[in-house]
Amino acid sequence: MGFTYLDPTKSAKFKDRYVTKIDETIKTYKGSETGDVGIIGLPSSKSSISLSMAANAPSTIRSGLSSFSTYSATQQKDFDDMRILDFGDVPIHPTSVENTLDRLHISVEEMLKTEACDRYIMLGGDHGVSYPSIHAFQKKYGRIGVIQWDAHHDVRNLDDGGRTNGTPFRSLLDGEILNGEDLVQVGIRDHSNAEEYDRYAKEKGIHVYTMDDVEEEGVVSIIKKEIARLENQVDMIYLSVDMDAVDQAFAPGCPAIGPGGFTSRELLSSVKKAAQHPMVKAMDIVEIDPSKDVRDITSRLAAHVMMRFMYK
């Protein structure tokens, strides 16, 4: 028999012997491994107040990692030896939002109890997943600080629709899980919020930075200032990245796109600056609807957000 290229045990994808793709460094958590960074998918979008298939985002973001290498030219370092553990996706309830939130909370708690990793990334889903996720981290670490990249306050009232993707921080604040002064919101945009929610944010002492503030001060300077403030009053810091904080030109796959947001470079540089602080232990990435995206632009940007967090 002559030479054959057929081998069902191997992928037909091109492989350069000198290049390691990020997805090649990710291992499925099986119960005893330890790693540097843990990943878990929180594929819930039934609570979105606008039609959204953000539940599909964890898989598309993971797929995006296969397009990029582990080598950082900026840092002159190859991260091919970083240990990344994937805890899989949480199965959501088919109809009950409250049951789904319970499942997400329990699953993040169970992941943290393994103590398998030093830092964790939660892949949403809509922004509603931040409520159970942050609550789980608060129960483990104590007083928690949150930096939120977002066009919206996400402090909507609960009377008009219950817990939705517009209420996670209202739920955390009213539930006394999070203190107002420990929440930083960066990227709040004009004509994206109500006066009542602006008033609520002020009453709760949330540190709010609009896009005009970003234009004047620079997002990296704001992050540095707020990290320095938070480190003296909290036990850990959690990053919550709502991709609709990014201008629609750079993130077309968000349910609530709009002009005047961050550039992709502003988002990546600010996340990297925050992630370099040792008190930053977790990050979620939310509000990507792959069905609305163009050539996975938004999911690939989210993959780079992950990389800035992991390869600090």
Binding region for Mn(2+): 127, 150, 152, 154, 242, 244
DSSP state of 90: P
Cα–Cα distance list, 78 to 19, 25, 75 (Å): 10, 12, 8
Task: Give bridge partners of residue 39 from the DSSP assignment.
Answer: 86, 121
Is residue 179 within 8 Å of residue 143, measured between CB atoms? yes
Distance CA 172, CA 106 (A): 16
| Binding residue ranges | 127, 150, 152, 154, 242, 244
Strand, helix or coil for residue 187:
strand
Q: State residue 283 phi and psi, 5-degree precision.
A: -150, 140
**Would you tell me how many other CB atoms lie within 10 Å of the CB of residue 140?**
16
**Is the peptide bond prior to 125 cis by the omega test (within 30 degrees of 0)?**
yes
Is residue 131 within 8 Å of residue 168, measured between CB atoms? yes
Pairing of strands 77-78, 119-124: unpaired
Strand, helix or coil for residue 265:
helix
- In the block, tokens 């790693």 appear at 35
CA angle 264, 265, 266 (to 5 degrees): 90
Q: State residue 108 phi and psi, 5-degree precision.
A: -65, -40
Helix (H) or strand (E) holding 188: strand 183-188
